[in-house]
Every structure is written in structure tokens, then in C-alpha cells.
Amino acid sequence: MGPHVEQITPNANGLTDPKVKNAWEILPRTKPSKIVEILSKSDAKAVMKHIKPQLQSRYSESLSKNVFQYFQDGGEVAGHGINNATVGDKHSPELAILFEFRTVPNELQSYLPKTESTTKSEVKLLDQFDPMKRKTVIQQVESLVQNSGDAFDKWYQSYRDSMNQPPVKNAKKIASANQKAQWVKEHNPQEWQRIIA
């Protein structure tokens, strides 16, 4: 049984595809089964009672059951969940449930910085590629960064300074793939064009 039976036309390559994650608008970063564990018993019961009818009202019994089971078995939504976040006092922390706004709601617009954030471009830079192309781009970017001498390290330390973050010892290990791609795009534009062609 495939998506066509449900009259669904897939437009993405699985749950980790940026198109799928963006469609959530508010994406759970804590896996759903963990969210239910963190809730009080009465809240967990109410959530579980509400989910099944919602799924069954939209999809076939078979698909609803499989989706429900996927999440009950610990399936992730975003592909790399954050399941050990805590809040409160560091001596007696409480587990936290994390969500990521993929689209900023109107009610929160006034809290956004007035200038364009470098983080925004980093988050989106690699999202433009399908999973196979993304893997290739990351490998080539990584090679350029590793062979950059101290040029990348200096750029990354400067970037961290601009974000009021402390210096790090091994920038090449700590920096994200998006940060490395941003550096290649800014400092080696011809190489960037070659990589993404």
C-alpha cells in the first residue's frame, strides 16, 4: 500500500526533507513518544485520546494505524530529535519539550531582530538541495574547509564573536555543515558555484 492509495502525491523525500519539516510550521524537535512520557498522566491520556480520532478522520484506517504506531514506537519527526533538553535549576532539572518554529507566527514577529540574521541564511543554505545533492555538497564543502589552513578557523571565531559566543579550540569539528557552506559561499564563490552546479 503506497501513498497513491490514500490519494496523496508525495512531494518530498521523507520526514527529514525540508519541505516536510516546513509544512509543520511548528515542528516538534522532541520525539512524540517522549513528549507523551513527559506529560502528566491525565494530559498524556487526553493527547492519546485526541490523536487517534484526528488521524482516522483524515486517513484510512490502515494509514492512521501505521502513523500512530510509528510515533508510539519512538519515530522521529525531524530526523534528529532533541530528546534530553531540560529546564529549571541545574541541580534539579526537569525534562523539556522542544518545538521549532519553521514559520514565525504573526504574534511573535515583533520579537524578531530588525536586521537580517546570519543564522537565517545558514539554516536555509543547505535546505535548497535534495538529500542526495545535499550529501555531495556537504562532502565537498567539508574537504575545502579541512584544507583551508587557518582561514576557516579565523572566520568561525569572528562569527562566534559576533554572536557573543566564546572562542573554541577546534572550529572545523564544532562548526555545522551550514556554517561551513556559508564560509565557502562567501570566501570561495567560484568553488561554491562549482559544487552546487
CA distances for 119 relative to 80, 97, 125, angstroms: 19, 23, 10
Count of domains observed in the chain? 2
Range of the domain at 21: 3-111
> Is residue 56 within 8 Å of 68, Cβ to Cβ?
no
Boundary of a domain, candidates 111, 143, 169: 111
If residue 101 lies in a helix (H) or strand (E), which one and from where to where? strand 99-101
User: What confidence score (pLDDT) does residue 162 get?
Assistant: 86
Q: Are residues 43 and 12 in the same domain?
A: yes
What contacts 171, CB < 8 A, 6 or more positions away? 152, 153, 156, 157
| In a shared domain, residues 48 and 137 | no
Asked whether residue 98 falls in the same domain as residue 131, the answer is no
Q: Which of 86, 111, 136 is the last residue of a domain?
A: 111
pLDDT by position in tens, the chain (length 197): 455 555 655 555 566 777 777 777 788 889 889 999 999 999 999 998 998 899 889 888 888 888 888 888 888 887 778 888 899 888 889 999 988 888 778 888 888 776 655 554 444 688 888 888 889 999 999 999 999 989 999 999 988 888 888 888 888 988 888 899 999 999 999 999 999 98
All three cell numbers of 85, joined, read 533538553
Domain holding 69: CATH number? Answer: 1.10.3680.20
Q: Do 48 and 134 have their domain in common?
A: no
Of 73, 47, 68, the closest CA to residue 56 belongs to 68
